[in-house]
Amino acid sequence: MKFIPHNKPTIGKEEIEAVINSLSSLELTVGTRIQEFENKFSEYMGIDSISTSSGTSAIHLALNTLGVGRNDEVILPSYTCVAVAYPVLYQEAKPVLVDVGADFNIDLNEIKNNISERTKAIIVPHLFGYPADIQEIREICDEKCIFLIEDCAQSIGAIYENKKVGTFGDISVFSFYATKLMASVQGGMICTDNKEWIENVRDIRYHDQVCSLEDMRMKYSYMMSDIDAVIGIEQLNKLDTFIKRRREIARIYREEIVNVEHPIELQHKKHVYSRYVLKTKGKDRIIQDLKEKNISCTTMHSHPLHRRKLFSMNQQKYPHTDDIIASSISLPIYPTLEDEDVLYISDTLNKLGGSV
């Protein structure tokens, strides 16, 4: 039996040829293709875009640009990648961790209950490619004068009420790491319709972008390389096809796998399935049994922020997060996964007898 990995980047001859051409041009770092990628991404999103070295650096630059600093509080879910939280500490601000709901996304009521006088921003990841309740969160932020940062690292192309996620926040951030919906090996993007913020990011993302002896601002080495950019251009060209295939695989899983709790998908929210996470009993046994059948599955974010000493600042409970970690598994889902593999995974899981 062939081995079925949990995740696999979709790289074709177009990306390989683009890298070869970039290497041949000798524009390896800050070249012309970065601007081309930014322009194409801006066209896709409908708002201005500026590239970064990673999704983490994008969050850091966003917080910096919004003026988040010492004594400020930033609300974010405990159930998310730790890379979302580190930039809050970079800015010497306080991460305020809240629980998630049944759809794995940050809980609206938890946000309301944790807003304080010091709340400066809320980071909202659209987890696993499924939109959070972003319009309602937008309204809360407007009412309380709080900045909204959308983390779209796992959700590029997802739709909320016929509008792309990443266009609701004051700033949105994206990641093109190798495991993401579209991969440029490394790299990220910041999107906003605020021209002043774009120019600020353009300045501080690279220490020699704008050189002035009078400049007092700290600057970083957060530039994307041209090689990453040319891969990103080709991946963006294929993104709609990638999403279509992921949704086809999700449909098969939903139709074939029984006695489990499948991901939520409501009519006004279009899921792009960067991961297919379901809930079942006997999680650890099932993951091990699938491994023995050459199928790689895992538990996502198995070390939530509230269990990490660096972020555990209170005794608050996170029941939904703890329940998700105890009962959820992430199945393989990527564009090159063939139907016969999807059916094999489904059949194998059914035979293992997992149940909700």
In-domain check, residue 319: yes
Residue 252: exposure state from Cβ atoms within 10 A (0-12, 13-18, ≥19): middle
Q: Which two three-digit tokens encode residue 134?
A: 């972003």
CATH number of the structural domain spanning residue 157: 3.40.640.10
Considering the domain architecture, whether residues 248 and 208 belong to the same structural domain is answered as: no
If you compute the radius of gyration of the chain from its CA atoms, what whole number of angstroms results?
A: 20
Q: Are 296 and 6 in contact (CB under 8 A)?
A: yes
| Number of domain units in the chain | 2
Considering the domain architecture, whether residues 255 and 293 belong to the same structural domain is answered as: yes
Considering the domain architecture, whether residues 187 and 250 belong to the same structural domain is answered as: no
**What's the pLDDT score for residue 177?**
94
Considering the domain architecture, whether residues 77 and 170 belong to the same structural domain is answered as: yes
In-domain check, residue 294: yes
Last residue of a domain, one of 232, 265, 287: 232
**What's the pLDDT score for residue 211?**
64
| Span 279-330, pLDDT tens digits | 998 899 999 999 999 999 999 998 999 999 998 777 789 999 999 999 999 9
**What's the pLDDT score for residue 218?**
84
Considering the domain architecture, whether residues 72 and 177 belong to the same structural domain is answered as: yes
In angstroms, the Cα distances linking 12 to 19, 266, 318 are 11, 33, 42
Considering the domain architecture, whether residues 297 and 255 belong to the same structural domain is answered as: yes
Residues 72 and 94: their CA atoms lie apart, in Å, by 6
Residues 325 and 322: their CA atoms lie apart, in Å, by 5
Considering the domain architecture, whether residues 215 and 292 belong to the same structural domain is answered as: no
Considering the domain architecture, whether residues 223 and 255 belong to the same structural domain is answered as: no
**What's the pLDDT score for residue 214?**
63
Considering the domain architecture, whether residues 110 and 79 belong to the same structural domain is answered as: yes
In-domain check, residue 1: no
Q: In what order do the strands lie in the sheet with 147-151?
A: 48-52, 188-192, 171-175, 147-151, 119-125, 73-77, 94-98
In angstroms, the Cα distances linking 207 to 145, 167, 183 are 31, 28, 26
CATH number of the structural domain spanning residue 317: 3.90.1150.10
- DSSP class of residue 303 equals S
In-domain check, residue 73: yes
In-domain check, residue 38: yes
The residue type found at 184 is S
Q: Cβ of 315: how many Cβ atoms within 10 Å?
A: 6
In-domain check, residue 164: yes
Helix and strand counts by DSSP (H, E) for the chain: 11, 12
DSSP-assigned states of every residue in 94-118: EEEEE-B-TTSSBPHHHHHHH--TT
Confidence of residue 356 (pLDDT cuts 50, 70, 90): very low
| Domain that residue 176 falls in | 13-98+105-232
Smallest CA-to-CA distance from 173 within 277, 321, 41 is with 41
Q: Is the pLDDT of residue 31 over 90?
A: no
Q: Cβ of 23: how many Cβ atoms within 10 Å?
A: 13
| Span 172-229, pLDDT tens digits | 999 999 999 999 988 999 999 999 999 999 999 987 666 665 666 788 999 999 999 9
Residues 274 and 176: their CA atoms lie apart, in Å, by 12
In-domain check, residue 7: no
Smallest CA-to-CA distance from 31 within 217, 223, 255 is with 223
Considering the domain architecture, whether residues 30 and 168 belong to the same structural domain is answered as: yes
In-domain check, residue 123: yes
The pTM assigned to this predicted structure is 0.95
Sign of CA dihedral 303, 179, 121, 211: positive
Considering the domain architecture, whether residues 272 and 222 belong to the same structural domain is answered as: no
In angstroms, the Cα distances linking 51 to 163, 195, 225, 308, 348 are 22, 15, 9, 30, 42
Considering the domain architecture, whether residues 114 and 129 belong to the same structural domain is answered as: yes
Last residue of a domain, one of 232, 257, 284: 232
SS (H, E, C) 188-222: EEEEECCHHHHHHHHHHCECCCCCCCCCCCCCCEC
Average pLDDT, the chain: 94
Confidence of residue 107 (pLDDT cuts 50, 70, 90): very high
Residues 136 and 302: their CA atoms lie apart, in Å, by 28
Sign of CA dihedral 9, 14, 20, 22: negative
| Span 156-168, pLDDT tens digits | 999 999 999 999 9
Residues 106 and 134: their CA atoms lie apart, in Å, by 10
Q: Is the pLDDT of residue 36 over 80?
A: yes
Last residue of a domain, one of 232, 250, 269: 232
